[in-house]
Structure formats: structure tokens, C-alpha cells
Amino acid sequence: MGDGDAGWRGGAGPAGQEAARNGYWGNDGYSSTASGHGGPGGPGTGEDMSRGRRMPRRMLLAALGGVLVTGTTAAMATVESGHASATSGRRGSAARSPRRHGGTAARHEHARPRAGEAPAKPVFYIDDGPMTVALTIDDGPSPVYTPQILRILREHGVTATFSMVGQNVASFPGIAREVAGAGHAIANHTWSHPNMAVLTPAAMRDQVTRAGDAVHAATGQRPTVFRAPYGAWSPGLLDYCAGQGLTPLDWSVDPRDWARPGVSAIVANILRSTRAGSVILEHDGGGDRSQTVAALKVVVPRLLDEGFRFRVP
């Protein structure tokens, strides 16, 4: 509750509050009515002059009435000012509030936690300087599509995060090593891509542990980032990530490339939705990803031309 709201609630009583709600504070008619109580039309009428003994009482009552009205008017003005300030403050705040994934304040809410801090929620946006975005590639590695995506990224000097499924890493460890060797980050994307939110705690831990072990066996590195399949998070999963030192990474731009909507649709979605701080979701595994590869050939240079810089969450 702001100062303006407190002033409004404690102002001129129920009637005055109702007037404020209806927008009557400061109305010229209301003000002129109030001033008329102690104005020139008050004392000095023929009736008062003909009643000499009653005149002082009338004058006293008029004077008291004027004081009361003056005090009430001042209180109303104070309330009006406080209410207007509070309303103006709220409107100003609303006008300045950034869009959910467009402004610094919004990104800070979900930004990667500082070292030693346990993330309270998944990371949907990055905060790594102006015009920075993150590109994430999920469900690989794939012997067909991952190398094609690596060539695109190498051509444009872009670094991405590959969220790898443990089973695929175990099947294609050489591809995983190629990704790591090119300087890209590898995120733990579970062993078999289940819905983690419905697993028992033991099964959940097993999915994370086995995938991490597979990545370590293939690359010599252990992931520090975890992405839940389907974006299905639970309090238990977030607590486990915090305990393991894993940053829970989600996304804020989903072009639905996994549904193969067409190259132009994927490109249009990404270019329309991406802004500073966005985490873009794409896929190199889980099926035919030729549309994703073709879209990235267009999207990556376009975003670079628009001034975006790619960072790893």
C-alpha cells in the first residue's frame, strides 16, 4: 500500500472516500458550494440585522461553519493530492514496466543465479549485457543433424548450448566430443527424455546422474546446466538441481521446430519473438531436423545483422 493509498483511506471519511472513488475531488461545483458557507452571502442579511441579540450566535455559527468547511476542503485537497500521486505512481510504474522478456527487470527475475546461490526457478532469460541471446539445441547428439548445425555455428562464430540426452551421448560419443571440442556448452537433458515432474525422487536422480556420467565419459566434462524435457519442472527437481550445482535452464522462444511447421514458419517465429535476453529453443535430435538446419542458416546471420550477440547461459 503506497502513501497515496494510505492518505486516501484515512482522508475525509466514508462520504469523502465515495466522492474520491467517483472522481468528485476538486470538482468546481463542489468547491463553490463549500466556499459559499462562509462567503459574502452569509452574515449580514436583513434577518440577522433585525435580531441584534441573535446576531452574535449566527456569526459564531457561521464562523465555525467556515472553519469546518475550510478544514474539510483542505483535507479533501490533501486526499486528492495523495490519491492522484498514488495513481500517477502506479500508472507510471505500469508504463515503465518492461515486457516479460524484453526488459532488464524481467530478465533479472529469471537470470542465472550467482555462484553459491540456489536458483528458485528455471532460467528463461539471460542477462549478459545488451542485445545478448542464447541459442540452445536439444535432444541430440545426432550423427546427421548435429554436424550440420556445428558447421553453421562455426561459419558465423556463434557459440550455443547443446542439451544432450544421455542415451544419444552413449550411442554417439564422438559427436558429443566434437561439440565440446568446438567450444560449445553441453547441458544435461536426462538419460531417456522422460517427464521428470511425474517421476519418483529416485528415478529423477537416476535420470540426471546417468546422463551426466555419459557426458563425462564422452567429453571429460560434467554439465553445469540442466534442462528438463518438455519444460516440466517440479519443486523436488529444482531442489535437486540446486544441490548438484546445476542451473535449471528453460527457454523463452519456442519456434516449434520439433513439429516441422516449415522453414519459413520457424524463421518468422524466431525473428518475431527474439529480443535481448531471449533463450531460443531448437532441436538436432528426436526426428527429421532438416527444417531446423535450413532455418538456422537464415536465422543466425539475420540475428547477427540485427546486432544480437550469442552467449552461453
Neighbours of 131 (CB within 10 A): 13
Q: How far apart are CA 176 and CA 87, in angstroms?
A: 56
* Residue 239 among the catalytic residues: no
DSSP string, 92-140: HHHHHPPPTTTSHHHHHHTSPPPTTPPPSS-B-B--SSTTEEEEEEEEE
Distance of CA 303 to the CA centre of its chain: 22
CB 19 within 8 A of CB 25: yes
Beta bridge partners of 136: 161, 281
Q: How far apart are CA 170 and CA 154, in angstroms?
A: 24
DSSP summary character for residue 114: P
Catalytic residue of the set 193, 257, 283, 284: 283
* SS3 of residue 175 by DSSP: helix
Is there a cis peptide before residue 141, judged by omega within 30 degrees of 0?
A: yes
* Residue 108 among the catalytic residues: no
Q: How far apart are CA 225 and CA 249, in angstroms?
A: 7
Q: How far apart are CA 86 and CA 88, in angstroms?
A: 5
Backbone angles phi, psi at 80, to 5 degrees: -60, -45
CB 8 within 8 A of CB 86: yes
Catalytic residue of the set 101, 110, 128, 138: 138
Tell me the catalytic residues: 138, 283
